[in-house]
Structure 1
């Protein structure tokens, strides 16, 4: 069995109202079903955690100002 095909199965209870929203979004974005959409969203969230956004120079300057105002710099 390849890593790609080796999935553990997890049963998850999702409220019907939430499932309907997921189904609508799945259709809107061209996914086959809500399961495919949910897996995509989870993959994106995990990837975002693995590769956090880079801080812009402007954001870094603002952080430095705040740290200086608090007496840390």
Structure 2
């Protein structure tokens, strides 16, 4: 496996990102920050992951929010 010292998301999987963001903001807070239906209409971690894995632009927005969020 190749080292990725400049990749802040290296070793963090998408499920962890969605779960942490959901715990921190809740579905309504996520929908306010990122305008995508998987956070608005009957949201769940499973359905969000399915959508984000198929939709690169949405995944990028979620990853950017994760990097900007302070989880302390």
- TM-score band w.r.t. shorter chain: under 0.3
TM-score where L is the length of structure 1 = 0.26
TM-score where L is the length of structure 2 = 0.26
Rg larger in structure = 1
Higher helix share: 2
Q: Which has the higher contact order (CA 8 A, sep 6+)?
A: 2
